[in-house]
Amino acid sequence: MTPSLLDLDGAIAALAQGGVVALPTDTVYGVAASVDAEDGVSALFALKHRPSEMALPILVDSVDQITRLGVAWPSGAQRLADRFWPGALTIVVRAPEYLARRVGSPTNSVGLRIPNLDLVRDVLARSGPLAVTSANDHGQPPCTSADEVLETFASSSHLAGVLDGGLRDGAVSTVVDLTGPRWRVLREGAIATTEIADALL
């Protein structure tokens, strides 16, 4: 079936049924599946033609959702969350093996983020944590509009539909890893490494 535009209730319903939905974030459009839906996460990898060992980040609407996932949440993670969330910072922490494997992490860790967009946080509050990655074929530029998503995935059977949130073309998130004895920035994006250092000192 050809993907189509969804309203908020339609997007929530599709995610609850284990489907893959494209939605706006505070950076670009993403494609999402519930972390509770193993088949949905597998379909997300297939939709993107994404290598299965490239971990998917998880979007949440609160630290409460994070703790319910059973991940480690060190004091440094909370300091970063207090300073930069909601916002374009992905925090990588240790996680249970089943969760790490589900999202394609080759180590027992996952990347987590609270996005700075009311619409997607409304989705997350109702759906629970979502595995989300940019809406594009792997290696191609990310989609910045709902129409672009529909065009990119017009022939895909893996995408249930798109929640339209207007033009989304923000900077990519910075990714910081807190799993080792010392923190390290894996990707510098919207938040500078110097800002991360300032928050953690």
pLDDT of 35 strictly over 70: yes
Polymer length of the chain: 201
User: In this structure, what CATH number is given to the domain that contains residue 117?
Assistant: 3.90.870.10
Inter-residue contact 21 to 32 (CB < 8 Å):
yes
The band of 1, judged by pLDDT with boundaries at 50, 70 and 90, is: low
Domain, as residue range, for 108:
4-200
Q: Give the residue-averaged pLDDT of 173-187.
A: 96
pLDDT digits (tens, 9 = 90+) for 63-111: 999 999 999 999 999 999 999 999 999 999 999 999 999 999 999 999 9
CB neighbour list of residue 153: distance below 8 Å, 6 or more residues apart: 3, 22, 47, 135, 159
Total tally of structural domains belonging to the chain = 1
Name residue 171's amino acid. Answer: A
Query: What does pTM read for this prediction?
Result: 0.95
